[in-house]
Chain A
């Protein structure tokens, strides 16, 4: 028969000297600490959903940088990034990856037939590595193979969403041109005129996608390399714009680096990043406070257990003299600690759920979707398991010290 089937007598002996105020103090303190930690975590996750739900690529992790233009510069290479500058950028700890904007080294013109109204313009083309696009059209590839009609295949082009908006609401409206949707623009016949090195080429173009991240006319790298080889007046230029994928959005080190080198980042993306960075810092601060309270509470309980075992030392020793094992007598204290920690966990989770319902409506109005509470609850369970294991270790250690055995 094991000792577990008759805890009542042992329990009656060992419950003496249990300090209710101490245990209540521990429970409240740890409850407050854990509730703060878990609420901060849940709040962070809820707010992060604003960034995650949006096109995460624009707002968070990508920056497009160029050199600041000073005065008017013509025909110089002052706006280009040198290999040394690129190598130095690649050394930065906050950089995850980098892509170059390769520009066309030839002149480009385009004409569009809008239901009988012709429209032509000079144009520029750029290319970046495929992994940096936020859109991935199916037809995003190009090979220089001449088809049966004697022409090269149409060149796929991705343009900025802003350009279409600019056309529809600025240009078309004032000139009486038809407005175009994203779906119909791909159907329009676009002709590209490429010229350089005394040669001229005509190709079909097709707009296959709209990017919120890229402020350019982008073509596949394979096309640009081919066309540059055929037409470029001079060998490949250095890129004048770079796209950066960074580790921590809004890291002040990034802005400092850009300022020091007189680089500019496109749009307000850095500001969004800074907001995310601020959120991270605020959350970490609040969580630290919760963690400190929890750690203090942990020591209150350890101290309380320590005193309790000290006061009951003679009884514990007498029980073990009768043949009770250390784990059999420790079990009583495990139950106390387990019950208290279960109360703390339940209370903290309840507090998180209540707090979440308070801020949920406010966050919902600015577009946050509530993150699932299960991750937070799982974190709470893990924390409580670790705390309980720590408590049990102290109990076991203290009781083992009392076990009557010959120590030589």
Chain B
């Protein structure tokens, strides 16, 4: 059963934009200071230019930052009222997140970075993880410390890690910014398979290089 079916933004605005409501980019935004809903089962693309608050949006929804006005609701519940225990549950069973800066642990290997998540959720088998590494063509890097991987390789490791949990919503912040078109397609097909299997929604952001998924709605930030 889904823990979250709908994520709603009500007149949300990053505090840094306070007093700039009539100015660009806020005045032209289809997200800030609007009422927006993301539903489970659909894919959303949030297009943005640099500095419009794309990563802030992901952080607000993932609950790691609270510097905004307005409200964000999970199925009608204001997320600012959620307990620590609830956040832990959601982050291991309902909300998957690929941050733009990846947040890999440099001293752990690629495989260990994935395992540290998967051991918490026990969602995937080691075989699945290895096959995913093979599919994203970084199998040879499995035992290399993450600090020695290229940004593109780190991005793929972080994508596999994000998939090592059940989710209703997958937040991917510029998932393919360092990947070529061919790798973009490989990553997109893996993500689509996982999201479809769970009936989940994908919310992706992009400043130009979009992940090749079929999007139900594209929002301009």
A residues neighboring B (CB under 8 Å): 1, 3, 5-6, 9-10, 12-13, 16, 315, 318-326, 400, 403-408
**Which 3 pairs across A and B sit closest by C-beta, in order of nearness?**
A406-B66, A323-B92, A404-B64
Contact between A16 and B117 (Cβ–Cβ < 8 Å)?
no
B residues neighboring A (CB under 8 Å): 60, 62-66, 79-80, 82, 84-85, 87-88, 91-92, 97, 99, 103, 105, 107-108, 112, 115-117, 119-122, 161, 165
Contact residue among A9, A13, A315, A321 (Cβ-Cβ distance under 8 Å from B97):
A321
| Identity of the chain B residue whose Cβ is nearest the Cβ of A403 in the assembled complex | B84
Q: Which residues of chain A come closer than 8 Å to B105, judged between CB atoms?
A: 13, 315, 318
Contact between B66 and A407 (Cβ–Cβ < 8 Å)?
yes
Contact between B84 and A408 (Cβ–Cβ < 8 Å)?
no
**Closest CB in chain A relative to B145 CB, distance in Å:** 12
Q: Which residues of chain A come closer than 8 Å to B85, judged between CB atoms?
A: 325
Contact between B103 and A321 (Cβ–Cβ < 8 Å)?
yes
- Report the bound CA distance from A6 to B116 in whole Å: 9
Q: Which residues of chain B come closer than 8 Å to A10, judged between CB atoms?
A: 116
Q: Known interface pairs A321-B103, A403-B84. Does A6 touch B119 (Cβ–Cβ under 8 Å)?
A: yes
Contact between B64 and A321 (Cβ–Cβ < 8 Å)?
yes
**Closest CB in chain A relative to B170 CB, distance in Å:** 14
| Most B CB within 10 A of own CB, among A1, A12, A315, A406 | A406
Contact between A405 and B120 (Cβ–Cβ < 8 Å)?
no
Contact between A322 and B65 (Cβ–Cβ < 8 Å)?
no
Contact between B116 and A9 (Cβ–Cβ < 8 Å)?
yes
**Closest CB in chain B relative to A203 CB, distance in Å:** 85
Q: Which residues of chain B come closer than 8 Å to A406, judged between CB atoms?
A: 60, 63-66, 79-80
Q: Known interface pairs A9-B115, A321-B64, A406-B65. Does A16 touch B107 (Cβ–Cβ under 8 Å)?
A: yes
Q: Known interface pairs A9-B108, A16-B107, A408-B80. Does A323 touch B116 (Cβ–Cβ under 8 Å)?
A: no
**Closest CB in chain A relative to B77 CB, distance in Å:** 13
A10-B116, A405-B82 provided; 5 other pairs, C-beta below 8 A? A1-B121, A6-B119, A13-B108, A326-B84, A406-B63
Contact between B80 and A3 (Cβ–Cβ < 8 Å)?
no
Q: Known interface pairs A16-B107, A400-B84. Does A324 touch B63 (Cβ–Cβ under 8 Å)?
A: no
Q: Which residues of chain B come closer than 8 Å to A321, judged between CB atoms?
A: 62, 64, 91, 97, 99, 103
Q: Which residues of chain A come closer than 8 Å to B82, judged between CB atoms?
A: 405
**Closest CB in chain B relative to A311 CB, distance in Å:** 14
Sample (23) of A-B pairs whose CB atoms are under 8 Å apart: A3-B120, A9-B115, A9-B119, A13-B107, A13-B108, A13-B116, A321-B103, A322-B92, A322-B120, A323-B92, A324-B88, A325-B85, A325-B88, A326-B84, A400-B84, A403-B84, A405-B63, A405-B82, A405-B84, A406-B65, A406-B66, A406-B80, A408-B80
Q: Which residues of chain A come closer than 8 Å to B64, judged between CB atoms?
A: 321, 404-406
**Closest CB in chain A relative to B109 CB, distance in Å:** 10
Q: Which residues of chain A come closer than 8 Å to B121, judged between CB atoms?
A: 1, 323
Q: Known interface pairs A315-B105, A403-B84, A405-B82. Does A322 touch B63 (Cβ–Cβ under 8 Å)?
A: no
- Report the bound CA distance from A10 to B107 in whole Å: 12
Contact residue among A6, A13, A322 (Cβ-Cβ distance under 8 Å from B91):
A322
Q: Which residues of chain A come closer than 8 Å to B99, judged between CB atoms?
A: 321
| Most B CB within 10 A of own CB, among A315, A321, A403 | A321
